[in-house]
Amino acid sequence: MAEAGGKGHFIVLEGGEGAGKTGAIAFLAAELGARGHRVTVTREPGGTPEGRALRHLLLSESGNDWAPMAELLLMVADRVQHVERVVKPALTRGEVVISDRYVGSTIAYQGGGRGIDAALILDLHARLLDDFWPDLTLVLDVPPEVGLARSRARLAQGAVDEGRFEGLDLDFHRRVRQSFLDQAARAERFARVIDAGRAVEDVQGDALAAVLDRLG
Ligand code: Z5A
């Protein structure tokens, strides 16, 4: 397994809908910046111009009905472009890269959620991405009922609708959550689960402590 290379650090935040990743990433970027780190904030899908086109195809609700394998390959295509064009160059420059989602999401959504064999996803990751893994993955864990309610409340306030996954049934989201927890249990050293059902300040404080611990 190749860990994130170069001089920088590759940090990933994972979790179900409405877990609080976006807010936590903004907080982490500000805190690390204040400590003198150069930080690149990015996301999947959509961390590159090419990936933004894929993100629209994958997440907009406008009639797209991807077969699970096609959805998987588009997620992987986005990741290859993202790692080659954004993540690795920033790590080579010595930056801390914080990504909103990575391969853990593919294992959770296309694996746990859609039912694709996780071994195939890991094999694709090994072959196409040279088994490139983050230095630290934080799983923000919240029951899907809570996370989906947060996302819907935000949508009601006029957020852009990218609801193709949010619209799936609760069982789908429960399988996604379980997959994240299973992944974290298997990769204990590089993955931390954070209870994201608590107050924002507590969640973000724990995330920062875990990142500072990993950065040494
Ligand atoms: N996907 C996939 O299937 N396969 C893959 O390989 C990859 C992705 C990479 C887009 O991801 C979709 O892509 C995703 C899986 C799929 N599924 N969906 N949908 P995304 O990360 O862009 O979308 P998201 O998970 O829906 O993002 P989100 O709803 O924005 O969640 P978040 O970033 O974790 O949460 P947030 O924006 O920080 O917070 C959401 C709201 O909750 C907001 O109003 C906050 O103020 C509120 N919030 C946050 N924390 C709290 C606490 N602690 N208390 C109360 N309220 C809170």
CATH entry 3.40.50.300 includes domain 2-215: yes
- Ligand 1 center to residue 174 CA distance, Å? 15
Q: Is 214 in the pocket of ligand 1 (CB under 6 A)?
A: no
Give the closest residue to 27 by CA, choosing from 47, 41, 7, 9: 41
pLDDT at residue 152, as a whole number: 85
* Helix runs in the chain, H state only: 21-34, 49-59, 68-82, 88-92, 103-105, 118-128, 144-156, 170-186, 200-215
Please tell me the pTM assigned to this model.
Answer: 0.95
Q: Is 78 in the pocket of ligand 1 (CB under 6 A)?
A: no
pLDDT at residue 213, as a whole number: 96
Atom of ligand 1 at shortest distance to CA of 200?
A: 53
- Ligand 1 center to residue 22 CA distance, Å? 7
pLDDT at residue 3, as a whole number: 56
List the chain pLDDT tens, one digit each, 216 residues: 555 555 899 999 999 999 999 999 999 999 999 999 999 999 999 999 999 999 999 998 766 889 999 999 999 999 999 999 999 999 999 999 999 999 999 999 999 999 999 999 999 999 999 999 999 999 999 999 999 999 888 877 766 657 778 888 999 999 999 999 999 999 887 899 999 999 999 999 999 999 999 998
Atom of ligand 1 at shortest distance to CA of 150?
A: 42
pLDDT at residue 190, as a whole number: 85
- The helix/strand/coil state of 98 is strand
- The helix/strand/coil state of 186 is helix
pLDDT at residue 170, as a whole number: 95
